[in-house]
Amino acid sequence: MEHIYNENKKGAPVFVLLHGTGGTETDLLPLAQALNPEYNVLSIRGNVKENGMNRYFRRLGEGNYDWEDLEFRGNELYKFIADKAEEHDFKLRDVIFVGFSNGSNIAIQLMLQQEEKFKKAMLFAPLYPTDLEKKHDFSDVKVFLSLGKGDPIVPESESERVIRLFEERNADVTHIWVNGHTLPQEALVAGKEWLNKH
């Protein structure tokens, strides 16, 4: 998979950056720099194409996921991250997912599929439109969510569902509401505060 790995400080946490639909591995680099310039960075380009746009998994329409493909791509991405962890000598528990939109959604999938592996995530404009029967144990998971009021892609009810997904599994959840399907300065400031606390 196309990616960038930047080691800024040996042994520091690793931001795994996951872009939105149509993005590339460079999109979230300024965000990572603003959040903490000392953290290491693994930024990955989605390898699924939708009308020429990069994504992490297929969908059948807006908010209509190809769940089989999502599971397959989640496993594929997990293996890639695990291989990079071995290659660059970092631990999966030191990973902090930083995702926007489609990138947030694949991060949720990874956390659900690899329940014991990933402990922190900063998810901007996430959408995971299903209720899960399995109750994962996220009691040692910390999540920052930036959710949109008036988001044209993610209805507020679906943003609430993402909050519930983590809270019902006992995760430590911090969330902020912003305007639309965006990643504004206020979300960055709140995210940085959260990061400094955790």
Per the rule left: phi > 0, alpha: psi between -120 and 50, beta: everything else, 12 is beta
pLDDT at residue 131 is higher than 90: no
Residue written as tokens 């709140």? 190
27 annotated active-site: no
Radius of gyration of the chain (CA): 15
pLDDT at residue 31 is higher than 90: yes
What Cα–Cα distance (Å) separates residue 61 from each residue in 50, 58, 65, 158, 160?
A: 11, 9, 7, 16, 21
Q: How far apart are CA 46 and CA 73, in angstroms?
A: 10
Q: Among 43, 101, 146, 159, which one carries the catalytic annotation?
A: 101
pLDDT at residue 135 is higher than 90: no
Which two structure tokens, joined as six digits, stand for 119?
Answer: 């402990």
Q: What are the boundaries of each domain within the chain?
A: 3-197
Count of all residues that appear for the chain in the document: 198
SS3 83: helix
Nearest in space to 35 (alpha carbons), one of 197, 151, 179: 197
Residue written as tokens 């006992």? 170
104 annotated active-site: no
pLDDT at residue 122 is higher than 90: yes
Q: Among 19, 136, 175, 181, which one carries the catalytic annotation?
A: 181
Q: Are 74 and 64 in contact (CB under 8 A)?
A: no
Q: How far apart are CA 53 and CA 80, in angstroms?
A: 21
Q: Among 43, 151, 159, 175, which one carries the catalytic annotation?
A: 151
Q: How far apart are CA 94 and CA 117, in angstroms?
A: 9
Overall average pLDDT of the 23-50 stretch: 97
Confidence band (pLDDT; 50, 70, 90) for 197? very high
Q: Are 5 and 88 in contact (CB under 8 A)?
A: yes
Query: What integer pLDDT is reported at residue 63 of this predicted model?
Result: 81
Q: Which helix (H) or strand (E) holds 46?
A: none
Q: Which amino acid is at 138?
A: F
3-197 is a CATH 3.40.50.1820 domain:
yes
157 annotated active-site: no
Q: Are 14 and 81 in contact (CB under 8 A)?
A: no
Q: Which helix (H) or strand (E) holds 128?
A: none
How do residues 59-112 score in pLDDT, each as one tens digit?
988 888 999 999 999 999 999 999 999 999 999 999 999 999 999 999 999 999
How do residues 53-70 score in pLDDT, each as one tens digit?
999 999 988 888 999 999
Query: What integer pLDDT is reported at residue 134 of this predicted model?
Result: 81
**18 DSSP assignment:** E
